[in-house]
Amino acid sequence: MRDDVMQLDPPQLLGLHCATCGAVTFPKREFCAACGAREGLSTRGLSSSGTLHCFTVVRQAPPGRAVPYVLAYVDLPRDQVRVMAQLDTAPEGVRIGLPVKTEFRTVRMDDGQPVVGYVFVPEEEGSL
C-alpha cells in the first residue's frame, strides 16, 4: 500500500487543510491551491453531505460509457470545498441546491483488484 493512502471507516474523500491560510482544498496536492504554501499542510477527511452547485447532462461519451449521465459540482458546506463528480441519478428532476451525499463503489477491476471511486447520489433516494 502507498504510504500516502489512508484507510477510513466509513470512507471519506480526503482534502488538504492549510494552516497558513485556513483553506481546505480537494483534491489533495503537494501545495495549497489557495495560497501556494508548501508547509503546514495536513490531510483532512471531508464531509459526506453536500448540495448541488451546478450540473450538466452528458449525452455523448466514449464507447462503453452509458449516457446520459449527470456531471456536477457539489459544495461541501462544512469544509467550504467544491468537488466535481458524477451525480448518479436520472437527469430528470436534478436541480441546483439538491442535497446529496458521497458514495463509494467499485468502478472497475484492475489486475483482479477492485478500483474504488466516488460519486454523489441524492441524499434521499426516491426524492426526485
63 preceded by cis ω (within 30°)? no
Q: What is the DSSP letter of 62?
A: S
Nearer to Zn ion, 35 or 67 (CB): 35
Contacts of 47 (CB under 8 A, 6+ apart): 76, 77, 78, 79
Per-residue x/- marks for Zn ion, 20-59, CB under 5 A?
Answer: xx-x--------x-xx-x----------------------
Listed ranges 12-20, 81-89, 93-101, 108-116: which one lies at the site for Zn ion (CB under 5 A): 12-20
Contacts of 84 (CB under 8 A, 6+ apart): 71, 72, 73, 74
Tell me the three cell numbers of residue 102. Answer: 458521497
Least separation in angstroms between residue 30's CB and Zn ion is 13
Site for Zn ion in 56-85 (CB under 5 A): none
Would you tell me which residues interact with Zn ion (CB under 5 A)? 18, 20-21, 23, 32, 34-35, 37
